[in-house]
Structure 1
Amino acid sequence: MDLRVLLLAVSAVTVGLVELVVGGILPVIADDLNVSIATAGQLITVFALVYAVAGPVLLSLTAKVERKKLYLITLVVFLLGNILTYFSPTFGLMMAARVLTAASAALVIVLSLTITARMVEPRVRAKSLGYIYMGISSSLVLGVPIGIVVTNAFGWRSVFLGIAILTVGSIVLIAKFLEKIPNAKVQPLSVQLKALANKKIFFAHLATMFMLAGHYTVYAYFTPFLETTMKLSPYWISVFYFLFGLAAVAGGAFGGGLASRLGSKRSILIILGAFAISLFALPYSTFSIPLFIIFMMIWGGLSWALAPAQQDYIIQSDSVTSDVHQSFNNSALQVGIALGSGVGGVVFSQTGNVTNMPAVGGVIVIIAFLCAAISLSMAVKTRQTAM
């Protein structure tokens, strides 16, 4: 692996940890800051909303800044946000710190993707992007258990102090080993926003959004699913989450490798189709723990396998505005997470039956498959017209 890609992936892990790490320690934070758990939960909601909006906006506003310099400045802002979180005496100040870390984390992730795509050869681009997404997925799926363990040992504030220390390490390594990255052609913000009118790429964004929505319809309620269908104890549930996390971390690298071998367009349909099947099959494997683990890890691996192929496809489809589209796609991912969690909540409250959730998630992923197929068909028509 290119050392530069590895460093960007490590930075992606560092900034990605801050998003969901509070999920497992909300009661502790709420108690310390004298707010309800529901109020403390807004720390996650606000983060996701700011993250989704900030990526494309900040990328456009900073288009004239040299990429390495911007990356380092953004990491410093992220560092300050985590230090502010560590010292926050009130919920309001912590919320302000979350806005700061969300905006800077969004820009770091988008820069990691766009810099990687720009500095590697096209033949290894999808594979390299897969390593970045492996970093993103590992931070999202492992952030919750890491936060719980660290909080139990040292207190919840130490979680953010640890992230701050990791950020300092990333700043030093990026400053030393990453060369200056020349800017791409600067497009005005209005022009970049109009890029969404490109229906081919717009449907690609929808595919990303609906795939993550289908995934989180199940994953957000995975604990009650395991308790209801398999009668697992808390210990074994944590083991299953760990195994799922390992599969999800490997998924980004797998998706990038598959796209490098088969091409991004073919890989997108294969991954989406297989992902829908894995969700539909999940409830039928609960009678056997070994069989369920196999299906669960396939589901986990595929959950983050689409992103590298999707990013590479976007770059191929519109190289002029590819940076902002990579950012929009990352925002679509965040919207999909929020949408899936909401849909899962509605299904659970209306039916009270968690065994229905994988089927609902599978249907949503089929919608993602159709969106991807529409996008790919538009790309084919464009090439035929050009010929």
Structure 2
Amino acid sequence: MDRHLLTLALGMFAIGTDSFVVAGILPLIADSMHAPIPTVGQMVTLYAISYAVLSPVIAALAAHWSRKGLLMGGMAVFILGNVMTALAPTLSVLLGSRLITGLGAAMFGPTATAVGASLVPPAQRGRALAIVIAGLTSATALGSPIGTFLGGLGDWRITLWFVTALGILAAVGVGLLLPSLPIPPAISLRQRLAPLTDSRVTLTLLTTLLAYGGFFTVYTYIGVSFDRATLGNGDRLALLLLIWGCAATAGNLVAGKLTDRLGSRRLINGALCLTVIDFALLPWSSSSLASAIPALIVWAFCGWGLLVPQQHRLLAIFPALGALLMGLNSAAIYLGVSASGILGGLGIQFADAHHLGWISAVLIALAFLCAEGAHRRMARSEGAAPR
């Protein structure tokens, strides 16, 4: 069973590398395209919007497709999008290619997490989710720093060819190692729409949206917001991304174990409270390498430690709608990421890149309020059930 989960994690590794590596090579792309950094930063926004809008749509429309076929098709579209990005001659083609890449990721990502959760008993669901998501977080520890390093060698297009190669490797792995999976049972349209009218679900999704919008407002522009710590040195930036990624992977794996033991509320609230403080202090902690490193560790450990308990909470509300709920949660993440590209760009234009942490802190504080609202509604529902 772990072999199957690791196969899904391999695909998430390719998607994660593509999602996060752009932040490390953003200045190089801007120079190559002779465009401002905030404009080129919309690569992240368009990719995220495509992922966010299409994830729940695909989960609904492809409900009766073979799970393995959907995973393979998603990876094929993902590879095509990255080839287009690597060959893009103009900024418009570059930005358009990210919409296609986001479509491929939307086909693969939510399906992979839902399949992973369905392969194990409910008591082991947190661990299974953590293994699949570990592909995403380990991409920040390995894929993104390696891609940033390759881009720093002189051409950011090398980085995109690297991501394309990862996608091909992941497609081969899924094709050879993942067994044929049963098609999910038929679910009526009314059942599919039920989560959208449930306040427990909407508040949980708002928590995800606001929290990841806060996390990525700084990450999208990490090259300029941490320039005092890196001194403009690409190797230092790659080191920070490596540390960030290692902490993210550790946070995800720890959260997977603790969610099954402690439940979701303690982990969600603890992660959000710590990151509010961390981001509020970022204008000062990002000023030197010595203070930036612990700030990044807290940010990544808690930020990616949030994802497993959030998904666990959604699956606890509607266990039979795993694929749709994972699609909605992915949509919330990438809506937050798309908003972060816009908010961060505005913050740089009208204030200062070093103060983006304050915007993040406000968004994460709002996420905490939504998380508590979701918990209270879930508690009321559970209390009313026996009556």
**TM range, normalised to the smaller chain?**
0.7 to 0.9
Q: In the alignment, residue 383 of structure 1 is paired with which amino acid?
A: E
User: 272-281 vs 113-122, which deviates more?
Assistant: 272-281
> Displacement of 1:259 after TM fit?
0.8
Q: Indicate the residue corresponding to 2:159 in structure 1.
A: 159
8 Å Cα contact 1:26/1:37 also seen in 2: no
Q: Is the aligned partner of 1:208 residue 2:208? A: yes
5+ long unaligned stretches in structure 1: none
8 Å Cα contact 1:76/1:171 also seen in 2: yes
Q: Indicate the residue corresponding to 1:138 in structure 2.
A: 138
User: 76-85 vs 204-213, which deviates more?
Assistant: 76-85
> Displacement of 1:92 after TM fit?
5.0
> Displacement of 1:140 after TM fit?
5.0
> Displacement of 1:110 after TM fit?
0.8
8 Å Cα contact 1:126/1:264 also seen in 2: no
Q: Indicate the residue corresponding to 2:367 in structure 1.
A: 368
8 Å Cα contact 2:245/2:300 also seen in 1: yes
Q: Is the aligned partner of 1:98 residue 2:98? A: yes
Q: Is the aligned partner of 1:44 residue 2:44? A: yes
Q: Indicate the residue corresponding to 2:123 in structure 1.
A: 123
1:318-357 to structure 2, matched below 5 A, reads: 318-352=318-352, 354-355=354-355, 357=356
| Deviations 1:208-245 (CA, angstroms, capped at 9, x unpaired) | 111112223443454555445x6856354543333222
Q: Secondary structure at the match of 1:172?
A: helix
Q: Indicate the residue corresponding to 1:293 in structure 2.
A: 293
| Deviations 1:1-30 (CA, angstroms, capped at 9, x unpaired) | 811111111110112322343444456556
Aligned-partner Cα distance in 2 for 1:292–1:28: 23
Q: Indicate the residue corresponding to 1:380 in structure 2.
A: 379
> Displacement of 1:192 after TM fit?
2.5
Aligned-partner Cα distance in 2 for 1:295–1:309: 22
Q: Secondary structure at the match of 2:180?
A: coil
| Deviations 1:270-292 (CA, angstroms, capped at 9, x unpaired) | 22223223334556667986565
Q: Secondary structure at the match of 1:304?
A: helix
Q: Indicate the residue corresponding to 1:19 in structure 2.
A: 19
8 Å Cα contact 1:133/1:304 also seen in 2: no
Aligned-partner Cα distance in 1 for 2:268–2:293: 24
Q: Indicate the residue corresponding to 1:63 in structure 2.
A: 63
Aligned-partner Cα distance in 2 for 1:237–1:81: 26
> Displacement of 1:56 after TM fit?
0.9
Q: Indicate the residue corresponding to 2:303 in structure 1.
A: 303
Judged with a 3 Å threshold, the aligned counterparts in structure 2 of structure 1 residues 27 and 83 are, in CA distance, closer, same or farther, namely same
Aligned-partner Cα distance in 1 for 2:255–2:206: 19
8 Å Cα contact 2:73/2:107 also seen in 1: no
8 Å Cα contact 2:45/2:342 also seen in 1: no
Judged with a 3 Å threshold, the aligned counterparts in structure 2 of structure 1 residues 52 and 165 are, in CA distance, closer, same or farther, namely same
Q: In the alignment, residue 121 of structure 2 is paired with which amino acid?
A: E
> Displacement of 1:132 after TM fit?
2.3
User: 54-63 vs 65-74, which deviates more?
Assistant: 65-74
8 Å Cα contact 1:256/1:308 also seen in 2: yes
> Displacement of 1:314 after TM fit?
0.5
Aligned-partner Cα distance in 2 for 1:200–1:142: 36
8 Å Cα contact 2:148/2:238 also seen in 1: no
Judged with a 3 Å threshold, the aligned counterparts in structure 2 of structure 1 residues 75 and 284 are, in CA distance, closer, same or farther, namely closer
Aligned-partner Cα distance in 2 for 1:25–1:352: 20
Q: In the alignment, residue 15 of structure 1 is paired with which amino acid?
A: I
Q: Indicate the residue corresponding to 1:195 in structure 2.
A: 195
5+ long unaligned stretches in structure 2: none
Q: Identical aligned pairs, as a percentage?
A: 28
> TM-score, with normalisation over the residues of structure 1?
0.86
Q: In the alignment, residue 383 of structure 2 is paired with which amino acid?
A: Q
Aligned-partner Cα distance in 2 for 1:283–1:307: 25
Q: In the alignment, residue 77 of structure 1 is paired with which amino acid?
A: V
User: 103-112 vs 248-257, which deviates more?
Assistant: 248-257
User: 94-103 vs 115-124, which deviates more?
Assistant: 94-103
Judged with a 3 Å threshold, the aligned counterparts in structure 2 of structure 1 residues 176 and 300 are, in CA distance, closer, same or farther, namely same
Judged with a 3 Å threshold, the aligned counterparts in structure 2 of structure 1 residues 361 and 28 are, in CA distance, closer, same or farther, namely closer
User: 282-291 vs 196-205, which deviates more?
Assistant: 282-291
Judged with a 3 Å threshold, the aligned counterparts in structure 2 of structure 1 residues 314 and 161 are, in CA distance, closer, same or farther, namely same
User: 87-96 vs 374-383, which deviates more?
Assistant: 87-96
Judged with a 3 Å threshold, the aligned counterparts in structure 2 of structure 1 residues 104 and 351 are, in CA distance, closer, same or farther, namely closer
1:212-361 to structure 2, matched below 5 A, reads: 212-227=212-227, 232=231, 234=233, 236-282=236-282, 290=290, 293-352=293-352, 354-355=354-355, 357-361=356-360
